[in-house]
Structure 1
C-alpha cells in the first residue's frame, strides 16, 4: 500500500493545488459581499469551481459531439459489417475499429468528459472531507481556510461536509434537514443525468442509429449511470454532491443548446430546427421554398431510341463474315 499511496499522492497533489487555487479565488471574490466564514461563500465557490472546470472542458465537449455524430452516421456501415463478419468476432472487431479510425471517431469519446472529471471529483472530496475531520489543509489552503471550509454551514444549519448517510447514522438524533437537502441534491443529479442522456437519444439520433452496438451503449448509459449516482450519492458530502449536480445541469444545458442550434442531419431535432427556421422566415416575410427535383431536360424526356446497325456494303459483309458460311472441311469425307 505504501507504493500505491505514493502513486496516489503523486497524481492527486497537482489536483489539490489546482482545485484549491480556484476555490480560494472565488472565495475571495464572494467574501467581498458575504461572510468569509459563512457557508454560502464556500457553496458559491464550489459552484464557481464547477463553472471553471466545465468551461475548460468545452473543447473536449465539442469533440465529443462530433464523435457522437460520426458514430450515428456510421451505424448503417457497422450493421453491414455485422452481416458480413458476424461469424468471425475477431475480424468484425478489427473491421469495425478500422471503420472508426478512418472516420476519425472513437466509441468511447462520449465518456471522456465524465472520466476526466472523476479525479477532480475525488480530489474535492478529499479536500473537503479531511478539512472537516481534522482541519487538514491541501494545496493552497491554509489551516485557517481549511477549518472554515470544513466547518462551513448553509444557512447556519446544514454542514456542507455532511452527507445523507452520515446524517442518518451518526449521532443520537438524525439531522433531518441535512438528509432532506442531500436527498434533493442527489435526486436532482440523477434526474439531470437521465434527462441529458435521454435527450441525446430521442432528439439527436437518426432512426437508423437506434439499433446496433452504439444504441445499446447509449441505453446502458441511460439507465446505469443514474443508478450508480443514486447509490453512491448518499455517501458523498453535500459540497461534493453540489459540484456533481451543478456539473450535470451544465451538461444538460450545454447539450440542449447544441442539439437545438446544430442538430445532426436526419434527426427529430434537425426537423424541428428546419420548422423553426421556416416559421421565423415567414414572420419576416421570407418564404423558404422546399427544394424540388430538377425538371428533366429535353434529351432526358425523349425515350431512348434503339441504336440501328450501320449499313455495310456487300463486300464488307462478306469480309466480316470471314468464312462463317464456308462449308466444313469434314463434310462429305465419309468419316
Structure 2
C-alpha cells in the first residue's frame, strides 16, 4: 500500500504543495529559479517562530532541572541499590516541581511531520493525482529533489552538486560544533536526566544516567552526545536538497534561540548577596 496515497496524508500533501507553490510563485520575481528554495527557508522560519513559546517553556524547564540537580544526586546516592524506588522518587520530585525529565522534546516532535511533508514533496513525481512541479525547481542549478547520496549512487554527481551539498553539510557541521562548544557540560557537575546539552548543571539531553555515574562513564556519555550534534550533517547527505535546506535553517535558528534564551533564563539564576546588617 502506498502510504502517500492514503486520503488524509494525500490531502495534507496536496495542501502543503499548494501553499509552497503559491509562496514560490510569489517569490519568483525576487529569487528566480531559486524561489522554491527561498520559500522553504521562509516556511522553516515560520515554523520555528511558532515554536518560540515552546522554547521559552523548555528554557524554564532547564532552569528547574538545574535547581533540582542536588536533590536528584541525593536521591541517586540514597536509592542506588533500589532502581525502582529511585525512579518513583525522581518522578515524584519532578511532579512536585511541575516539570518532567522529557520536557524540551516537544520542538523536535513537532518538527518531525514538517520534515516528513517536505521530504515527500520533493520525492514524489505525482501528488494527489497531478504532476509535482516542485521537482522542476533548483538551487544554483541543483534540483531540490536530488540528494548527494542518490547522485553518487546513480553516477550523476557533478561539481555543482558537490559544491551545493558540501556547503550545506559543512555549515550544518559548523553550527553543530559551535553548539557543542557553547553548551559544553561543566566538568564535575551532576548529570540531570533529560536536560538538554549545555545546562550549567552539566546536564545532557536524553541522558538516562545520573550523578552516580563514574567520571569515566560521564566522559564517554558526553563524547557520544557531542557526536550527536553532527548527525544532522550526515542526514543532509541522504535527504533531498529541499529537506537539507530545512535542516540547515533549523539548526541555525535553534543555536541562536538557545543562546538568547540562556541569557534570558539562565539555568542557575544569579545569586543575590545578602544585605549587610545596618
- TM-score normalized by structure 1? 0.66
Structure with more helix by fraction: 1
- List gaps (5 residues or longer) in structure 2: 196-201, 206-221
Aligned counterpart in structure 2 of residue 28 of structure 1, from 25, 29, 33: 25
Q: Describe the superposition over 1:193-212 as per-residue Cα deviations: whole angstroms up to 9, x where unpaired.
A: 3433542345xx7x885435
SS at match of 1:107: coil
Aligned counterpart in structure 2 of residue 199 of structure 1, from 173, 182, 196: 182
- For the residues of structure 1 that align with 2:160 and 2:234, how far apart are their CA atoms? 20
- For the residues of structure 2 that align with 1:73 and 1:208, how far apart are their CA atoms? 16
Gap change, CA 1:11 and 1:190, over 3 Å in 2: farther
Pairing 1:217–2:204 present: yes
Pairing 1:150–2:147 present: no
Please identify runs of 4+ aligned residues in structure 1 that moved more than 6 A: none
Cα contact 1:61–1:113 (8 A) shared by 2: yes
Pairing 1:295–2:250 present: no
Cα distance, 1:245 vs. partner?
0.5
- For the residues of structure 2 that align with 1:64 and 1:210, how far apart are their CA atoms? 19
SS at match of 1:78: helix
- List gaps (5 residues or longer) in structure 1: 272-289, 297-335
- For the residues of structure 1 that align with 2:7 and 2:204, how far apart are their CA atoms? 33
Pairing 1:82–2:76 present: yes
Cα distance, 1:250 vs. partner?
0.9
- For the residues of structure 2 that align with 1:23 and 1:91, how far apart are their CA atoms? 51
Q: Describe the superposition over 1:235-272 as per-residue Cα deviations: whole angstroms up to 9, x where unpaired.
A: 11111100111011111111112223442335xxx69x
Cα contact 1:196–1:251 (8 A) shared by 2: no
Cα contact 1:167–1:176 (8 A) shared by 2: no
Q: Describe the superposition over 1:128-151 as per-residue Cα deviations: whole angstroms up to 9, x where unpaired.
A: 111xxx3x125xx963xx22x102
- Residue-pair matches, total: 255
Matches within 5 A, 1:251-266: 251-266=254-269
Equivalent residue, structure 2, for 1:64: 58
Equivalent residue, structure 1, for 2:213: none
Q: Describe the superposition over 1:189-238 as per-residue Cα deviations: whole angstroms up to 9, x where unpaired.
A: 23323433542345xx7x88543545463337742433432432211111
Stretch of structure 1 that moved more, 105-114 or 46-55: 105-114
The root-mean-square deviation of aligned C-alpha atoms, in Å, is 3.0
Which structure's CA Rg is the greater one? 1
Q: Describe the superposition over 1:40-79 as per-residue Cα deviations: whole angstroms up to 9, x where unpaired.
A: 1111000011011111111211111111111111110000
Cα contact 1:167–1:179 (8 A) shared by 2: no
- For the residues of structure 1 that align with 2:5 and 2:56, how far apart are their CA atoms? 30
Pairing 1:160–2:150 present: no
Q: Describe the superposition over 1:79-101 as per-residue Cα deviations: whole angstroms up to 9, x where unpaired.
A: 01011111100000011011111
Cα contact 1:153–1:160 (8 A) shared by 2: yes
Cα contact 1:185–1:241 (8 A) shared by 2: yes
Gap change, CA 1:76 and 1:291, over 3 Å in 2: closer
- TM-score normalized by structure 2? 0.79
Cα distance, 1:160 vs. partner?
1.7
- For the residues of structure 2 that align with 1:91 and 1:8, how far apart are their CA atoms? 48
Equivalent residue, structure 2, for 1:314: none
Cα distance, 1:28 vs. partner?
3.3
